Structure 1
Amino acid sequence: MTINNLIEELLLFSDKIITLKAPVSEESIIAFERNHNIKLPKDYIELVRKINGLSLMGTIIYGVGEETWEFSLDKNYKLEHEEVANPMYDYLIPFSPDGGGNHYCFDTRYIDDDSCNVIFWQHDYPYTVDDPPEITNPSLTEWIKEVVIDWTLEDYNYDGSEKFKPNT
């Protein structure tokens, strides 16, 4: 599955339940990478060139550029690396919050085939070399398909109506 395929499926969701932000400028992508001395995965860059952040039924993907909205990759990178009790490792980029202080992050140590592993960072857990954060997906595309699209479609239709679930 490609980012374009995922965007096509995201566009099937009603505007009542999804917010898609306008594409980001190349300058904002370059500025983020330069300011944090880190490379963004190419699949994420491909996404934000078309949709610079989104929110679907409470699941958020941050956009690049502090001006984007309150869900900014820039603001949250700084917060999670400099202003919390348990700061993230420098190579992690938090791109999606879980609503409880934790984040899904890009593990940029190993960018392969234009993507990298997505890990789950629990904000209050003392990770070690022998006990690192959990890898949840091997790429952003697989994460979007599973977490953003499939998990939403378990309970809701594309129009936002709840799916009927018979009592078992």
Structure 2
Amino acid sequence: MTFNELSELLESNPTKSFGQGVSDAEIDIASVELEVELTGGYRLFLKRFGWGGVGSIEIFGLGVDVPPYLSLLPLTRSEREEMTPALPVHLIPLMNDGGGNLYCLDSRGVREPSVVFWEHTAGEQQEPTRVASDFTMWLAERIEREVDMK
């Protein structure tokens, strides 16, 4: 699935809730602050939507209109500095699973990072489980599952 197809899927959903989107400059500033490169499908998502999702799927993001509980920068700082186990710097949180675990992008050395599952009870030495090859495929699969459950 392409990002444009994903965008159409998101925008056509009656339960959608999104931000206004952000500029490349805002994404670059966040990349510097997070010490990772925000790239690939997630970068496109941030530019187009900023934050948000459909139904129970709520993606962390950026923007002046982002609700505090979905704000990527403070959430990432908290996960890295206040939580145990601390979230490694190379992981970019995308979504909470409702139980304290996180779906994250693994930003280590790739332009299109894979999506991994960080389990908060598994300890700092864990190797997070890879759940999707990239953000676009991961989000498309989550949306399709959400729709199928209804």
Q: Indicate whether the TM-score tops 0.5.
A: yes
Greater C-alpha Rg: 1
What SS does the corresponding residue of 1:105 show, helix, strand or coil? strand
Q: Report the equivalent of 1:139.
A: 134
Q: Distance in 2 between matches of 1:104 and 1:74?
A: 15
Q: Report the equivalent of 1:18.
A: 16
Count of aligned pairs between the two proteins: 149
1:31 has 2:29 as partner? yes
| Runs of 4+ with >6 A deviation | none
Identity %: 27
Kept after mapping to 1: 8 A contact 2:21/2:63:
no
What SS does the corresponding residue of 2:32 show, helix, strand or coil? helix
TM-score normalised to structure 1 length: 0.82
Q: Distance in 2 between matches of 1:67 and 1:56?
A: 17
Gaps of at least 5 residues in structure 2 are none
Kept after mapping to 1: 8 A contact 2:19/2:49:
yes
TM-score normalised to structure 2 length: 0.92
Task: Write 1 or 2 for the structure with the bigger share of helix.
Answer: 2
Q: Report the equivalent of 1:95.
A: 94
Which one of 46, 51, 54 corresponds to residue 49 of structure 2? 51
Q: Distance in 1 between matches of 2:137 and 2:109?
A: 16
Kept after mapping to 2: 8 A contact 1:106/1:116:
yes
Q: Distance in 2 between matches of 1:110 and 1:117?
A: 11
1:151 has 2:145 as partner? yes
Gaps of at least 5 residues in structure 1 are 157-168
What SS does the corresponding residue of 2:89 show, helix, strand or coil? coil
